[in-house]
Structure 1
């Protein structure tokens, strides 16, 4: 799940997609979620998309590499290339163009997996102890995921948890906003059919948002009062 808000100051907000998917039906699905400098992330997506349509023996694309690990290496090096090309002068300038990426997907012969790719081009993969990643504004929504996530959760309950996490962030930070893009991938399907966009007037989102607020207030009243 990703939000769609970008900003260049408190009076300059816009809606921009931050989730992008490439697939080869029956063989692979690759999805990127982006955060950070918009010019950098747009250049990254454009380069990956452009190169995926050009056959070059010396440079396999994300649609040709045999493993998700190698796809992560390629995207990491491409992100690093984009950031370096944007530098004006010296390391101070590079910080203005930083971006991070979550890579998810599956290639036939391997398992579905996720990678968190840093601006420097290096990356880490999910583990049983760290089963999810967040990028962008994470501090408001992460505590909810840490407390409530269960690996045995259904898709439906996981989506509910994600909405609660995003709603808490949206309430607390102007840089995150609706609509939200959602993508559900079923392992070994090698296709994505479910990619809804959740708008502000979505009935389920409104029910979750108001229900979560009511539940927090009720939980607070049931906690023991402080005593000297």
Structure 2
């Protein structure tokens, strides 16, 4: 992937959408020659530099940040690459919010720490077994969801399966809470619009007007 500068001069900017990275007017309008998404030249140049250094890959292999978002709910890839074993810094905050909403209680610390402990134990056992045996991604996924459902059912009861599915989506996305909510809502609105027969043009216009630019949390393999 390469960034190609179009406009010249630091004061030049386009009158359309803001830069997806800095959210300001696009200065020195630039696009990527693989997907033609537009950014500030300095913004996309810095993005490529930071990501390529993070994953130790050549600049040409870095994925566009907007194209990256198209795959945020790639659940099969999440399990195939065993990304569950990588720490998610926003997990406890997300769990607290979801548990408070589902249980209709403010103090959910006991349940929260119980679920986090179950997940930590599962990950540690998985890391140990990974050196000795090979399990399919499907088996890994099924076992995790079964363990979490068993741990959460005494507290969540009929809402348990929905909670486990939501947890899986959040972990697979790799996004922070605000970004996850924005992308999830955007996709939900898009699906609802398709169901009631709204035209593609209207959907695209609404997505353009309300497009969210999430704060990305990059897994090691995600940017290549």
| TM over 0.5, shorter chain | no
Larger Rg: 2
Give the TM-score normalised by structure 1. 0.29
Q: Give 1 or 2: higher strand fraction.
A: 1
Give the TM-score normalised by structure 2. 0.29
